[in-house]
Amino acid sequence: MAVKFLTDDWIVAVHEAINAHDGFKGAAAGITLAMQFNVSDAPEGGLNAYYLKLDAGSPTAAAGEVEGSDVGISSDYETAASIAKGDLNTQTAFMTGKLKVTGNLAKLMMHQNVIQQWGAATEAMDVEF
């Protein structure tokens, strides 16, 4: 069953996917990291904010704001959707200014495998854009 991108159903599906994916769980093992995602122009009823939190490797993906985020990532809806579809690489989005990153960039770079495994864990999701 398809879930609409940036909705409560989508973030629940993301949470389930990362928690079921061995590659993601392996990449996240022992890591403490909180990433806040903000989308400036999500469609009506869509999430403007969601987060990924790793607490000693235990992953939570949820709607809203995470307290004490290490990294903030913001973009517009078009960029977020293009990245989620696999049409736009996150590094390219960052280098072209479509994706803004704040906070501890070094910590984010240290844990790039977590981001890559997030993509691997969620690529099979049936998402409607």
Across the chain, mean pLDDT equals 94
Q: What's the mean pLDDT in 32-40?
A: 96
Residue 44 has pLDDT above 90, yes or no: no
| Structural domain boundaries, residue 30 | 3-120
Instruction: Choose among 90, 100, 109, 127: nearest CA to 2.
Output: 127
pLDDT of 61:
97
pLDDT at 28: 95
Q: Is residue 98 part of a domain?
A: yes
In a domain, 126, yes or no: no
Helices (H), the chain: 8-20, 22-28, 77-85, 90-95, 105-110, 112-122
Q: Is there a domain that residue 67 lies in?
A: yes
Kindly state whether residue 22 falls inside one of the protein's structural domains.
yes
pLDDT value at position 22? Answer: 96
Percent of the chain whose pLDDT exceeds 90: 89
**How many folded domains does the chain comprise?**
1
Strands 33-39 and 71-75: parallel
Q: CATH number of the domain at 46, please.
A: 3.30.1050.10
For 48-107, what is each residue's pLDDT tens digit? 999 999 998 799 999 999 999 999 999 999 999 999 998 998 889 999 999 999 999 999
Assess if residue 125 is contained within a domain.
no
Look at residue 99 and tell me if it is in a domain: yes
- Predicted local distance difference test score (pLDDT) of residue 56: 87
Within a domain: 104 = yes
Q: Are 76 and 82 in contact (CB under 8 A)?
A: no
Rounded CA-CA distance 72/105 in Å is 9
Is it the case that residue 46 has pLDDT exceeding 90? no
Domain contains 129: no
